[in-house]
Amino acid sequence: MQERSSVAELAGSLRGELNRYSPGGKLPSSRALVERFRVSPVTVSRAIAQLAAEGLVVTRPGSGAFRAEPRGAVPTPGDTSWQEVSLSGDGGPEVVPRTVDASGVLVTLAAPPPGVIEFNGGYLHSSLQPERALSAALARAGRRPGAWGRPPTDGLPELRAWFAREIGPAVSGADVLITSGGQSALATALRALAPPGAPVLVESPTYPGMLAVARATGLRPVPVPADSDGVRPDLLAAAFRATGARVFVCQPLFQNPSGAVLAAGRRPEVVRIARAAGAFVIEDDFARRLVHEDAGPLPAPLAADDPDGVVVHVCSLTKATSPNLRVGALAARGPVLERLRAIQVVDSFFVPRPLQEAALELVGAPSWGRHLRVVAAELRNRRTAMTAALLKVLPELALPLVPSGGGSLWLRLPGGGAGADEPAVISAALRAGVAIAPGRPYFCAEPPAGHVRLSFAAVSGPAEIAEGVRRLRAACDELFAGPPRGDSLRA
């Protein structure tokens, strides 16, 4: 975070001085900038790269950086207002507008401003990412015979077989398609399994990225309430009867955002109910490799015990490694696999072979198991630190469940209502120097109360967690003056 702040500050200083140089004029050397601003050569290099990306400077290897020539006159913008009509309805039979609201996803993808603690992140902090192992895997992958050749459209057989073994013995490599991460797999599955305008059942609350994909595909998400044991089978059966839906999307393990694990007694019920309705279950198994060290034995994926092909399984390596290792898998049985394959090919042809080769090198190395053990221990430590800090400093925020996997906590705001205080809390927190995720995007209908999601995986450790909670306390004092309200944080 300090390095990112230094880069931004140096880029800002150089940006403000560009008028001192004529177009084409040479900027001071990297050594001169290091001595003048007392920063590292890496910081100088990154700041210059940022200005080059903005089109303000050009770099010439061996010569240095130069102020860019002025751009030509800005063309007169055209009239794109016609697109509002075109995009709002294409004259087809669809009854659900295919609007795309990515706000719930962007809040976890966008880096906060310098100095702001990232409690809204969706990926592991850089200190938890296996950067050395990834670099080594990528280097080895590049030297593999045929590494830059065209891969099979379904994915490398060795990688498909590895994912199949991870899912369970009932799944073979022939049942698996390699995808560009979990989000791409979800999009492919939803497009394959439901026509535009159809209802799709979802857990409530649930992952905003999935809701965005469903709506962009023209589907109508229908919420099915869940509790600390996962989705309620009685309400799931009722929702199938009421809507005629043919798809249910769920996260049975460490559900996002609640952290719930689908109870053992409910697991076969969910598959049985879907099978009776002639429906598919899309199982988003995103957090299996984010298990905490103190968790008990993990249940197998729903797809591991599904001879009838009810479950379409989605998983990826991204969450446990790096946002840049966008390698995932879709697993399915029966005729639906051919439809999934066709949509995947049309959308993306194939996942780049060097990335697949690097994934194989990574998971086949001895360091892979060590990395997962380190992540399990560190996530437990961060979760424990955040839970303790919230209990001590912010007891008015209710925590229905302390998860044993995943990277975040799901908290209910004090008071009643349906989330009216969320925007005020988010804004006050940002003013206090901590970015948090609002709860509203996790609901596809009116939320029962205001919520926020706090990530402990995206920060550097307990010290930053303690400081972030302290800043959040200051934000809440600004909004909720007086004694704590009725709700209390509980495990």
84: in domain: no
Answer yes or no: do 348 and 376 share one domain. Answer: no
Residue 78 pLDDT more than 60? no
Question: pLDDT per residue over 322-332, tens digit each?
Answer: 999 999 999 99
- Domains identified in the chain, total number: 3
On the question of a cis peptide bond just before residue 257, with omega within 30 degrees of 0, the verdict is yes
Question: pLDDT per residue over 432-476, tens digit each?
Answer: 999 999 999 999 888 888 899 999 999 999 999 999 999 999 998
26: in domain: yes
Answer yes or no: do 384 and 236 share one domain. Answer: no
On the CB side of 86, CA atoms within 13 Å amount to 4
**What pLDDT shows up at residue 90?**
42
**What pLDDT shows up at residue 95?**
58
Answer yes or no: do 162 and 148 share one domain. Answer: yes
Answer yes or no: do 62 and 141 share one domain. Answer: no
Please give the full DSSP string across 397-454, using - where no structure is assigned.
SB-S---SBSSEEEEEPSSSSSSTTHHHHHHHHHHHTEE-EESGGG-SS--SS-EEEE
- As a residue count, the chain comes to 491
149-153, 228-232, 391-395, 479-483, range with the lowest pLDDT: 479-483
Average pLDDT, whole number, for the chain? Answer: 87
Answer yes or no: do 337 and 454 share one domain. Answer: no
Average pLDDT on 358-380 reads 95
**Residue 469 sits in a domain of what CATH number?**
3.90.1150.10
The domain boundary residue, chosen from 67, 89, 115: 67
Answer yes or no: do 302 and 186 share one domain. Answer: yes
Residue showing tokens 């991870």: 166
**Coil, helix or strand for 386?**
helix
**% of the chain exceeding 70 in pLDDT:** 88
**Residue 47 sits in a domain of what CATH number?**
1.10.10.10
**Residue 285 sits in a domain of what CATH number?**
3.40.640.10
Average pLDDT on 2-30 reads 83
Residue 86 pLDDT more than 60? no
Answer yes or no: do 246 and 394 share one domain. Answer: no
* CB 350, CB 153: distance < 8 Å: yes
Give CA 450 to chain center in angstroms. Answer: 21
Answer yes or no: do 379 and 413 share one domain. Answer: yes
442: in domain: yes
484: in domain: no
**What pLDDT shows up at residue 454?**
97
Distance from C-alpha of 178 to C-alpha of 247, rounded to nearest angstrom: 22
Answer yes or no: do 458 and 344 share one domain. Answer: no
Measured CA angle at 476 (ends 473, 480), to 5 deg: 135
The domain boundary residue, chosen from 303, 333, 366: 366
Answer yes or no: do 107 and 245 share one domain. Answer: no
The domain boundary residue, chosen from 16, 50, 67: 67
The candidate with the shortest Cα–Cα distance to 411, out of 314, 485, 298, 488, is 488
Residue 416 pLDDT more than 60? no
Residue showing tokens 């040479």: 26
Residue 87 pLDDT more than 50? no
**Coil, helix or strand for 247?**
strand
462: in domain: yes
**What pLDDT shows up at residue 58?**
87
Question: pLDDT per residue over 183-235, tens digit each?
Answer: 999 999 999 999 999 999 999 999 999 999 999 999 999 999 999 999 999 99
Q: What is the band of 92 on the pLDDT scale with cuts at 50, 70, 90?
A: very low
Q: What is the band of 89 on the pLDDT scale with cuts at 50, 70, 90?
A: very low
Distance from C-alpha of 104 to C-alpha of 211, rounded to nearest angstrom: 9
Answer yes or no: do 115 and 226 share one domain. Answer: no
407: in domain: yes
Four-residue CA torsion sign, 189, 194, 196, 201: negative
Distance from C-alpha of 71 to C-alpha of 146, rounded to nearest angstrom: 43
Four-residue CA torsion sign, 344, 346, 348, 354: positive
Range of the domain at 47: 2-67
Distance from C-alpha of 252 to C-alpha of 260, rounded to nearest angstrom: 8
Q: What is the band of 71 on the pLDDT scale with cuts at 50, 70, 90?
A: low
382: in domain: yes
Answer yes or no: do 171 and 248 share one domain. Answer: yes
The candidate with the shortest Cα–Cα distance to 345, out of 177, 476, 101, is 177
384: in domain: yes
Higher pLDDT residue, 480 or 57?
57
Average pLDDT on 167-175 reads 90
Question: pLDDT per residue over 96-138, tens digit each?
Answer: 666 667 777 776 777 777 889 999 998 999 999 999 999 999 9
